[in-house]
Structure 1
Amino acid sequence: MRKIRVADLFCGAGGSSTGARQAIEALGRDMDLVCVNHWDRAIETHKRMHPEARHYCQDVASARPIECVPGGHLDLLMASPTCTYHSRARGGRPTSDQQRMDPWHVVTWLTELMVDRLIIENVPEFADWGPVDPKTGKPIKSKKGVYHAEWVAATDANAEIAGAKVRLRGISRDMVRNNPIAARAVQIIDQNVIGAGIVPTVKSRSEPRAERIRKLIKRHLETTSFDVLGQHDLYGVQGLVMRCLVESGEVLVRRLWSSDRSLALPFQVQVLEPDYLDSLVDGQLANGNTARQGIEYGKEGKRVAYHLYRNHPGALDSFNQETMRIPARDIIHTGLARTSATSRRRSGCEPSVSAWRRAESR
């Protein structure tokens, strides 16, 4: 009979591991234990209690789950992530050298491995976590506890996506950058859907009019003037959209009107990653409309505007930046929908991440 596979993240004196071992022994089984902590003293202490375990003295953030857990399957994942910054017992005291890694790294292990059961040790305030205001760096009081609510009671498609989309999008992009299997998969999808480009066809009862439109396409859409950055023509933009769609699950194409007389048509386009959407614009707005994760809806439920950051929020100079309200008529927002009512989308790579990780480790 095979051993029960267990991982203990942020392991310390070994209490959680001991409890797991006792429970497994009561079932008449043996335990295969792997433990991770960045603090060498914690690892040394845990080794004395559980010398049979495999120990990794490194940050949970940098530890590769698939390398720590060959085969990619855990019967039980135990984690005791940091509570220093949100415990009511903190009392303004400085943190110790045993400050532990952020709880979001536990999500990485859940995403990249097949985990049957999860136990997380933390303080009650853990359930109060919500979005942080990028301008102040402090939690938004009106959003207190929304992450916990989304995990335990996310029956609405938008609520389900809200807490997970950023993390899953980051994992997907990392896979495409660093995993050759993922990079090749995105390339194949792009080649099969877009290829050399989806060529527009002009049909008109008036041949002279059709010819004028063909010339405009050639002079504008089939030149880099079509792109506001001057890098891609229509077909290059199509490729950008397709790759972003697969990696991030959604993409925005913004139309910018121009007074530049050198342009054959008075507009250009800008391809934007979904990061540009200000998800903190959410709920009832002052103008009477409603917003969901950066998308503004009118009273009849129709999309009327998008709230976008001026610069990419991940840029080094993005702190305290303003949000623009862009009319919906100037935005094409497309994505891989899970339901018809979903405002935002999750990465198209999400279902394949674990399989790619396992294939990479072979």
Structure 2
Amino acid sequence: MLLKTFKQLFNKPKIKSSAWDAAGSGRRFFHFQPELGSINNLLSQSLGHLRSRSRDMVRKNPYAANIIDTIVSNSIGIGIKPQSKARDGEFRKKVQELWLKWTDEADSSGVSDFYGLQALVCRSMIEGGECFVRLRTRKREDGLCVPLQLQVLESEHLDNK
């Protein structure tokens, strides 16, 4: 008996669970009957309530606000910074200089820069479920280095009915 117990210590354990625990039908899932259908159909009736409750929770609960801050920080960090892979060094340098100038002018409201907009988009996506970025072309007379600015629109700008 002692030898049998000793051998069992070094044997591989037998896996008794299925590959997909969530697809199981044991006692743990007896009362779990999720609704079937597309996500759009499921959300159509309650999207407004879910969104407003989510935003309210972030405003009133410091734990929820901290979770959002942590996710944004881990997802975006200091910002996604593209680099040109052009072979010509002089061209690459000019593109980089133009990019750095444009990042300061990217926000159509003039409140943030391109990297702040990235964080805002991520935060809006987590809090409200979605967010939109409008590309706003500008006139050359506006004096921008690149005649393009970005406008972040919250999901509440859409009619969900």
- Identical residues among aligned pairs (%): 36
In structure 2, the residue corresponding to 1:254 is in which secondary structure? Answer: strand
**Equivalent of 1:266, from 140, 147, 152?**
147
More strand by share: 1
Structure 1: unaligned runs, 5 residues or longer: 1-115, 117-152, 281-362
Which residue among 90, 102, 126 is the counterpart of 1:246?
A: 126
TM-score, reference length from structure 1: 0.34
The equivalent of 1:123 in structure 2 is none
Residue 191 (structure 1) shift: 1.1
1:163 — aligned with what? 45
SS of alignment partner, residue 131 of structure 2: strand
SS at match of 1:163: coil
1:208 aligns with 2:90: yes
**Any idea what SS the aligned residue of 2:71 has?**
helix
Q: 1:188 aligns with which of 62, 65, 70?
A: 70
Of Structure 1 and Structure 2, which has the larger fraction of its residues in helix? 2
Residue type at the aligned position of 1:252 = F
Q: Distance in 2 between matches of 1:275 and 1:175?
A: 17
Question: How many aligned residue pairs are there?
Answer: 127
Amino acid at match of 2:62: P
Q: CA deviation at 1:273?
A: 0.7
Deviations 1:145-174 (A, max 9, x none): xxxxxxxx8623211111111110100000
C-alpha separation between the residues in 1 aligned to 2:83 and 2:43? 37
By relative contact order (CA 8 Å, sep 6+), the higher-ranking structure is: 2
CA distance in 2 between partners of 1:233 and 1:205 (Å):
28
Post-superposition offset of 1:260? 4.1
Alpha-carbon displacement from aligned partner over 1:258-277 (angstroms, at most 9, x marks no partner): 00431011110001111112
1:177 partnered with 2:59: yes
* Aligned pairs for 1:291-330 within 5 A: none
> d(CA) in 2 for partners of 1:179 and 1:260?
45
> 1:275 & 1:260 partners in 2: Cα distance?
32
- Equivalent position SS for 2:149: strand
Structure 2 segments unaligned to the other structure (5+ residues): 1-30
State the match for 1:256 in structure 2. Answer: 136
Q: CA deviation at 1:206?
A: 1.9
Q: Please tell me the residue identity of whatever aligns with 1:202.
A: S
Note closer, same or farther for the CA distance 1:154–1:162 as it changes in structure 2 (3 Å cut): farther
